[in-house]
Chain A
Amino acid sequence: MSETAERNVLVDVRNLKKHFSKGKNVWGRTTEVLKAVDGVSFQIRRGETFGLVGESGSGKSTVGRCLLRLYDYTDGEVRFDGHDLTKLGEKALKPFRRRIQSIFQDPYSSLNPGMNVLDLIGEPMNIHGLYPGEERKEAVAALLERVGLKREHLYRYPHEFSGGQRQRISIARALSVRPDFVVCDEPISALDVSVQAQVVNMLEDLQAEFGLTYLFVAHDLSMVRHISDRIGVMYRGRLVEVADSDELYDNPLHPYTKALLSAIPIPDPRAANARIVWTGEPEDAERPPLREMAPGHYAALPE
């Protein structure tokens, strides 16, 4: 990679592995290992949205959680803005904990029901020593208005809001500490169709306004295409294809990507789905690494 391209990279994931132990024998030794993420490498450029798709259990959320350092990794490396986060302890991680924020799927369980909106959004500010004293309330109120809620909502509790409004509170909370990078894990899948569009538009506006970089994990492939600049397709713990979004949808190369895309029901009664079926690869098959098949288009196909 050239030096300018290198500087453009905000998140650099190298051969990331995260294995969980599924069972232990009577001596406490691990007997079975679940390779949730098994050697994943990709880069996210500053200011872009990188989409991650794949079926449930393919490892996409685990990748997101590793980037948030909610877990230690089994192997591999994650670099953020040139710093290797892999081996940092909690103290050294703290500035990065501010710069990397998250929004999760379930706006019901991710907000503490006992806290009002002011405290929910103010809490991360508190942790990172931002907007002390009187400024706090003003800063929170301004953010609330920015995400389409009102100042009157400051003293209300999560159960008084609809799903879409709660997701707005989660977004305000994530943005309260002025992050550079936000991991969005299925941020709209619990919302109604008409409200999903509200939240997606808001994420796009905030990205432009604050120069944010997103990792957008989702299973709704048409929304992922809409919001992402580039997309990675995960299958059984590995990336099988990475490309610009339009290129991926117009010209998929890996048989799994083809099967996945052809399975999206087209919202047009005149267009029938031409479904492509892929039976998958045997468990023990040799899995080829990603190779650049066309400029910027990578696929894990045999030579």
Chain B
Amino acid sequence: MTERLLTARDLRVSFHTRDGDNQAVRGVSFHIDAGETVGIVGESGSGKSVTARAIMSLIQPPGELIGGEIEFRGELLNELPERKWRKIRGNQIAMVFQDPMTSLNPVKKIGQQMIEVIRRHRGLGQEAAKQEAIRLLREVGISDPERRIGQYPHEFSGGMRQRVMIAMALSCQPELLIADEPTTALDVTIQAQILELFKRLKDNPDTAVILITHDLGVVAQVCTRVIVMYGGMIMEEAPVEDLFYRPQHPYTIGLLRSVPKRGGGTRERLVPIEGTPPDLLDPPPGCPFITRCPHAMDKCKELPPMFHIGPGHRSLCWLAEKDHPTVEEVGAGEGNTDV
């Protein structure tokens, strides 16, 4: 039996801007089990990063968590005082951001920064913390770590800094690591090194990972389960095989078609999704994908419920209504991977 680590229920985040409320996240529910690697994909502005920040309680004004709850190991995080929160963040949940340079202190040696974090979170002595830092750097594939810990961030390449950030996040042995586009700014060869690290984490039962990316290749290679977001909502969620081989939601299908096929010869025409994503200041009522969906019908002006497609597989689309019960009807008991 898998162990439930995190459950997010009906998360809602808005940014109060001059032009009105930007409804960045509009009712997002999902869960993470211990040890699994879950990908969140979706286009720019679909709410991936805001969802991650909401889990970390890092939404700042003009943003506001206007609804929903986050449960971690049976405890409701959003009701905790900030002090307790800070303890969980860093000890049990860690996050790696897209730009590693902004999260490292440029005037402190890498080793010193790592040792501080390790001592703070794990209560190790100076020498033990140093050995741990060296071990972690080696684990993320940095050669000659004994020498490297004496260097400053600017002496590291972008890919190495990103690996240092991951090493630091892992140094607190978190039960959940959230990585927001950890490879997007990197060259493919360096991305490949970091993905190998994530593949190793996938097999590590002590650390669950949420990997945010827009790259379907990364998802296919590293994740066990995938959440597809669009317009601030979850469109589809499925085990990785199902998502690539039995996609249900028209947005997922569109996304998979718009990338060049592997082995497909050159000049085989791509099938784009026409149109542009919804304006979250004034989202269309009903299905967020309605303005671009080739199957849109009258009914879609009303927001569909989540339909239960199969174990761990659900889709927010009226097309699934005929053959599938809603997730609610199935209940939490059966497909135990549903929320």
Contacts and interface: CB of A to CB of B under 8 A. Distances in A.
Interface of A: 55-56, 162-165, 192-198, 200-201, 204, 219, 221-223, 225-229, 245-246, 259-260, 262-273, 275
A245 B266 contact: yes
A273 B189 contact: no
A198 B270 CA distance: 8
Given A162-B276, A266-B217, A269-B241, 17 more contacts: A162-B277, A193-B214, A193-B255, A194-B254, A194-B255, A197-B270, A198-B273, A204-B269, A219-B187, A225-B266, A259-B189, A265-B220, A267-B244, A268-B262, A269-B221, A270-B244, A272-B221
B224 to A, nearest CB: 9
Given A56-B187, A192-B44, A197-B272, A265 B221 contact: yes
Contacts of B144: none
A212 B266 CA distance: 18
Contacts of B217: 222, 264-267
A184 B177 CA distance: 38
11 contacts: A55-B187, A195-B43, A197-B258, A200-B270, A262-B192, A263-B189, A265-B220, A265-B221, A266-B221, A267-B244, A271-B220
Contacts of B222: 265
Contacts of A197: 257-259, 270-273
A273 B221 contact: yes
Contact of A266 (B196, B262, B268, B277): B262
B191 interface: yes
Contacts of A200: 270
A260 B258 contact: no
Contact of A275 (B192, B256, B257, B269): B192
B125 to A, nearest CB: 37
Given A192-B43, A263-B191, A264-B188, A222 B259 contact: yes
Contacts of B276: 162, 164-165, 195
A222 B259 CA distance: 8
Contact of B266 (A164, A195, A229, A268): A229
Interface in B219-243: 219-222, 240-241
B274 interface: yes
Contacts, number: 119
B281 interface: no
Contact of A226 (B43, B44, B244, B266): B266
Given A192-B214, A221-B188, A275-B196, A267 B220 contact: yes
Nearest to A163: B44
A227 to B, nearest CB: 8
B267 interface: yes
B273 A194 contact: yes
Given A197-B258, A246-B266, A273-B221, A263 B240 contact: no
Interface centre among B218, B270, B271 (most CB of A within 10 A): B270
A55 B266 contact: no
Nearest to A261: B188
Interface string B201-224: 000000000000011111111100
Interface string B41-59: 0011000000000000000
Contacts of B270: 197, 200-201, 226
B258 A194 contact: yes
B266 A265 contact: no
B260 interface: yes
B267 A226 contact: yes
Contact of A265 (B195, B255, B264, B273): B195
B265 interface: yes
A49 B264 CA distance: 18
Contacts of A196: 258, 272
A197 B264 CA distance: 15
